[in-house]
């Protein structure tokens, strides 16, 4: 659904924020877009929305160039930005003003999401705390039922119970025909949701693999230090990342995976290639 | 050094969750169980992961799928589950336990004694 | 409604409703000031005609503010992502911007001026309400050129709002200075005899007037083209 080909982008000439990104994000999955702060995850999402054009390479969303910002495409896509302000109206009012632009919106679903997340539909959005505002907008955005849902740091600002509710709601939103992209550095908040992991680093896409591939080929945790491609000290001792030779799927540890890829992307990539 | 997985993969945990519910009687044989999407939304897990668990459960003849209707607990599912878990215990947990007993120098007599004590307590 | 991607006046209308509802306090403040400021001056001078002329001045100032308020959500860092991904086409959005900064604005400020003058007439030492209102009417409608001028200022400011990055006030100041310099430059050139002598005829007058009238439309058209290609970087 979202096809990114050899995309590079820089806000100013000569200084690229994104380098040679090549990835296909297809429907029926919840993709995790991971990377250090400032690596360009938000920038990539903005390009997918058509707010900016790539300096090199291309991006197509359901076969269309998002930069054209056609109404047909915009209706099928919803982005929940990391930081945003909402007008001085209630969520109820906001929905009545904005929903007419989205034919697939369901007021019933928004009410359901609001009750699950603990959002008062008649409270002024303007005055809400950051976390409440986020939840309110998440409720609205998910009720739009867009086939493409982009979330930029959705759990930032959410309290622990809300994060859990959010996980359940997003799991319920996932569908065959829907492409969900969660960009985050809080990997632990979403690890049960993701089934495709894309890790970005300065050179481009450091990793692009499904969680089942990763769990089949890679072991995490108490691994033989001699065979580990990466180790780190944890509270419980040394934890590492190594090839999975047990024949059984491992338990994915996204934090370890991320740290390993950051430390040595080629080593991790080689674990996925060998066969 | 033995490589082991500190925790089970999520799909495995879902598999175990379904088995537990069947064993406890919450889901009785020939009754319909929650759909993949419902369970995913219930526990906050990717539906593809839940699908994988259901496929494995189907492969192990614990549940079966009726197209357009949903997944149902197979007849004799409880028996299957117990059988699978017995095998897992005998090939996995038991050898590990025996190894540990050997390491700690616990004899078969000590074991039997404790076993009898526990049986009497019940 | 036409096809999904075709122009929809329904969407323009819904955009208007959404915009006015969400920005109601800004507009109430703006139009409130457009009543209050002339009225204040009129009360100080104890003359309703001062209200009429102040309204003119305030109207021109408002031509800088309304484009800013109309386009603020597309530019402000905390609203731009959501505003620019709202499913409306650039044509529909620019139609709303154009209508809001020209026709709607003119109607509103005429109304505000009328209110200010009527209110001022109550405190006027001369107490001649009807004279003042007709004076106001003539000021505005007798000189349609003024209305077009306001529209030219408005539409130019829309272009500036579409182009400018972050500091809109700086952009306005730069544009203003540029225009002043251009006028000064042209005057110097005329004095130095560098300008071509044009025979002013009736026909030339008609052409000039026509160009003058279509300038706002042209500027809105340019804004539309710019908006289509605009990248929401800053």
- Domain extents for chain B? 10-76, 78-121
Predicted confidence band of residue A165 (pLDDT cuts 50, 70, 90)? very high
Domain annotation covers residue A93: yes
Q: Do C14 and A102 touch (CB under 8 A)?
A: no
Q: Which of A47-56, A156-165, C47-56 bottoms out in mean pLDDT, i.e. has the lowest?
A: C47-56
What distance in Å separates residue B30's CA from the closest CA in chain A?
Answer: 26
**Nearest-CA residue of chain C relative to A12?**
C233
Angle CA C67–C233–C167, to nearest 5 = 45
Q: Are the C-beta atoms of A8 and A55 separated by less than 8 Å?
A: yes
pLDDT class for B2, splitting at 50, 70, 90? very low
A192 touches chain B (CB under 8 A): yes
pLDDT on residue A13: 82
Give the pairing of strands A230-234 and A18-25. Answer: unpaired
Region A20-29: mean pLDDT is 94
Banded model confidence at residue A56, pLDDT cuts 50, 70, 90 = very high
Q: Interface partners of B (3+ CB pairs, < 8 Å)?
A: A
Quickly name the fold that domain B78-121 has. Helix Hairpins (1.10.287)
Chains that contact C by 3+ CB pairs under 8 Å?
Answer: A
CB contact, 8 Å: C87 with chain A? yes
Cβ distance A179 to A26 under 8 Å? yes
Whether A59 contacts A2, CB under 8 Å: yes
Q: Are residues A33 and A136 in the same domain?
A: yes
Question: Would you call C88 an interface residue with chain A, using a CB distance cutoff of 8 Å?
Answer: yes
Over 90: is that where the pLDDT of C46 sits? no
| pLDDT value, residue A75 | 96
Cβ separation C81–A51 shorter than 8 A:
yes
A18 and A152 housed in the same domain: yes
* ipTM above 0.85 for this complex: yes
Distance (Å, whole) CA A89 – CA A73? 27
- How close C171 gets to chain A, by Cα (Å)? 20
Which pLDDT does position C197 carry in this prediction?
67
The reply to whether C1 touches chain A by the CB within 8 Å rule is no
Interface of C with A in 171-230 (CB under 8 A): none
Q: Which residue has the higher pLDDT, C200 or C209?
A: C209
Q: State whether A138 and A223 are in the same domain.
A: no
Sort out which chain A residues have CB atoms less than 8 A from C232's CB and list them. Answer: 46, 51-52
A chain contacts of residue C4, beta-carbon cutoff 8 Å: 71-72, 75
Where are chain C's structural domains? 3-163+196-230
Q: Does B4 touch chain A (CB under 8 A)?
A: yes
Task: Calculate mean pLDDT across residues C183-203.
Answer: 76
CB contact under 8 A, C18 and A98: yes
Domain contains A168: yes
Q: Where is pLDDT greater, at C210 or B5?
A: C210
| pLDDT at residue A6, as a whole number | 93
Strands (E), chain B: 63-66, 70-73
Q: Do chains B and A touch (3 or more CB pairs under 8 A)?
A: yes
Q: What percent of chain A has pLDDT over 70?
A: 99
CATH topology of domain B10-76: Arc Repressor Mutant, subunit A (1.10.10)
- Residue A46, domain CATH: 3.40.50.300
Cα dihedral C170, C171, C175, C180, rounded to 10, equals 0
pLDDT surpasses 50 at C208: yes
**Is there a contact between A168 and B41 (Cβ–Cβ < 8 Å)?**
yes
Q: Are residues A124 and A227 in the same domain?
A: no
Pairing of strands A148-152, A77-80: parallel
CB atoms within 10 A of CB A147: 18
Average pLDDT over residues A251-265: 90
Q: What is the pLDDT of residues B23-51, one digit of tens each?
A: 888 888 889 999 999 999 999 999 999 99
For the whole model, what pTM was predicted? Answer: 0.90
Mean pLDDT of A160-187: 95
Put simply, the answer to whether B12 touches A168 (Cβ < 8 Å) is: no
Q: Which of A53-62, B78-87, C40-49 has the highest mean pLDDT?
A: A53-62
Nearest to B9 among A29, A222, A249 (CB): A249
pLDDT in tens, A142-153: 999 999 999 999
Q: Is the pLDDT of residue A229 over 90?
A: no
Q: How far apart are CA A18 and CA A44, in angstroms?
A: 8
- Residue B122 pLDDT: 73
Which residues in chain A touch residue C22, judged by CB atoms under 8 angstroms apart? 87-89, 97
pLDDT at position C2 over 60: no
- Asked if C87 and A75 come within 8 Å (Cβ–Cβ), the reply is yes
Average pLDDT, chain A: 92
Q: Residue C99: phi, psi to the nearest 5?
A: -65, -40
| Tokens found for residue C88 | 């409306």
Q: Summarize the confidence of residues C134-142 as an average pLDDT.
A: 65
Of A77, A78, A89, the CB nearest to C22: A89
Residue A62 Cα, gap to closest chain B Cα (Å): 22
Q: How many CB atoms lie within 10 A of CB C37?
A: 18
Of the candidates A167, A170, A147, the residue with the CA atom closest to the CA atom of residue A64: A147
| Other Cβ atoms closer than 10 A to C171 | 17
Task: Using pLDDT thresholds of 50, 70 and 90, give the confidence band for residue C19.
Answer: very high
User: Which residues of A fall within a CB distance of 8 Å from C87?
Assistant: 71, 74-75, 101-102
pLDDT, mean over chain B: 87
Domain housing A56: 2-201
C89 close contact with A: CB closer than 8 A: yes
* pLDDT score at A27: 94
Q: Residue C127: is its pLDDT beyond 60?
A: no
Query: Over the stretch A68-124, which tens digit does the pLDDT of each residue have?
Result: 999 999 999 999 999 999 999 999 999 999 999 999 999 999 999 999 999 999 999
* Residue showing tokens 């003042």: C132
Q: What is the mean pLDDT of residues C137-152?
A: 76
Query: Is the domain of A158 the same as that of A56?
Result: yes
Quick check: A47 and A8 in contact, CB under 8 A? Answer: no
Q: By the CB < 8 Å criterion, does A245 face chain B?
A: yes
Rounded Cα gap, residues C31 and C51, in angstroms: 15
- Reply yes or no on whether the pLDDT at A207 is more than 90: yes
Is residue A237 over pLDDT 70?
yes
Of the partner residues A52, A98, A102, the one whose CB lies closest to the CB of residue C232: A52
Q: Shortest Cα distance from B55 to chain A (angstroms)? A: 14
Task: Give mean pLDDT, residues A200-223.
Answer: 90
| CA-angle at A139, arms to A136 and A143, nearest 5° | 145
B113 touches chain A (CB under 8 A): no
**Residue C116 pLDDT more than 90?**
no
C148-169 per-position pLDDT tens digit: 888 999 999 999 999 987 788 8
- Position A144 scores a pLDDT of 97
Give contacts of A83 with chain C, Cβ < 8 Å: 78
SS (H, E, C) C179-223: HHHHHHHHHHHHHCCCCCCCCCCHHHHHHHHHHHHHHHHHHHHHH
What pLDDT, on a 0 to 100 scale, did the predictor assign at position C218? 94
At B37 the pLDDT is 94
Number of domains into which chain A is organized: 2
Distance CA C70, CA C16 (A): 10
Query: What is the average pLDDT across C8-16?
Result: 95
Using DSSP's 3-state secondary structure scheme, residue A236 falls into: coil
Quote the pLDDT of residue C185: 85
Q: What is the mean pLDDT of residues C208-226?
A: 91
Residue A206 resides in a domain: no
B15–chain A Cβ distance below 8 A for any pair = no
- pLDDT, position A131: 93
């Amino acid at each position: 659904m979202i096809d990114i080909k050899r995309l590079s982008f820089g806000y100013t000439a000569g200084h690229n924020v994104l380098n040679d990104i090549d990835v296909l994000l297809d429907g029926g999955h919840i993709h995790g877009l991971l990377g250090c702060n400032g690596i360009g995850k938000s920038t990539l999402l903005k390009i997918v929305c058509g707010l900016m054009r790539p300096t090199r390479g291309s991006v197509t969303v359901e076969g269309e160039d998002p930069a054209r910002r056609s109404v047909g495409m915009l209706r099928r896509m919803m982005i929940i930005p990391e930081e945003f302000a909402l007008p001085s109206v209630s969520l109820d009012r906001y929905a009545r003003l904005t929903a007419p632009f989205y034919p697939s919106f369901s007021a019933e679903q928004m009410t359901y999401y609001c009750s699950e997340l603990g959002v008062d539909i008649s409270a002024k959005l303007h005055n809400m705390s950051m976390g409440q505002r986020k939840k309110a907008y998440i409720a609205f955005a998910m009720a739009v039922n867009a086939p493409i849902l982009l979330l930029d740091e959705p759990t930032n600002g959410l309290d622990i119970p809300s994060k859990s509710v959010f996980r359940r709601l997003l799991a319920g939103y996932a569908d065959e025909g829907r492409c969900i992209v969660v960009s985050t550095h809080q990997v632990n908040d979403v690890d049960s949701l993701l089934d495709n992991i894309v890790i970005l680093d300065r050179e481009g896409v450091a990793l692009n693999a499904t969680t089942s591939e990763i769990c089949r080929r890679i072991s995490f945790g108490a691994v033989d230090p001699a065979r580990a491609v990466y180790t780190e000290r944890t509270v419980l001792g040394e934890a590492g990342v190594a090839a999975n030779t047990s024949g059984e799927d491992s338990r994915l540890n996204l934090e370890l995976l991320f740290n390993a890829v950051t430390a040595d992307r080629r080593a991790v990539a080689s674990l996925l290639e060998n066969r | 050094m033995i490589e082991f997985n500190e925790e089970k993969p999520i799909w495995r945990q879902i598999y175990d969750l379904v088995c537990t519910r069947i064993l406890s009687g919450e889901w009785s044989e020939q009754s319909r169980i929650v759909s993949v999407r419902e369970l995913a939304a219930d526990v906050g897990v990717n539906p593809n992961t839940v699908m994988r668990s259901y496929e494995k459960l189907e492969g192990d003849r614990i549940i079966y799928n009726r197209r357009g209707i949903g997944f149902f607990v197979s007849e004799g599912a409880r028996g299957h589950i117990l059988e699978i878990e017995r095998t897992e215990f005998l090939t996995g947990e038991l050898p590990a336990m025996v190894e540990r007993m050997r390491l700690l120098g616990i004899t078969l007599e000590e074991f039997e004694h404790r076993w009898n004590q526990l049986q009497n307590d019940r | 409604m036409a096809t999904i991607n075709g122009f929809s006046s329904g969407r323009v209308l819904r955009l208007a409703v959404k915009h006015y509802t969400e920005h109601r306090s800004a507009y109430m403040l703006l139009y409130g000031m457009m009543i209050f400021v002339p009225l204040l001056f009129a009360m100080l001078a104890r003359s309703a005609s001062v209200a009429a002329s102040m309204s003119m001045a305030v109207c021109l100032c408002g031509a800088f503010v309304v484009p800013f308020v109309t386009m603020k959500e597309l530019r402000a860092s905390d609203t731009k992502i959501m505003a620019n991904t709202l499913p409306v086409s650039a044509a529909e959005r620019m139609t709303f911007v154009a209508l809001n900064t020209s026709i709607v604005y003119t109607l509103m400020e005429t109304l505000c001026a009328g209110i200010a003058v009527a209110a001022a007439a109550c405190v006027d030492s001369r107490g001649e309400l009807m004279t003042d209102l007709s004076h106001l009417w003539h000021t505005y409608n007798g000189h349609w050129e003024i209305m077009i001028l306001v529209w030219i200022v408005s539409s130019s400011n829309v272009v500036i709002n579409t182009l400018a990055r972050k500091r809109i006030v700086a952009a306005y100041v730069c544009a203003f200075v540029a225009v002043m310099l251009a006028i000064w430059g042209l005057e110097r050139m005329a004095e130095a005899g560098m300008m071509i002598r044009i025979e002013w005829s009736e026909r030339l007058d008609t052409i000039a007037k026509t160009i003058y009238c279509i300038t706002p439309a042209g500027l809105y058209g340019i804004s539309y083209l710019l908006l289509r290609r605009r990248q929401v970087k800053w």
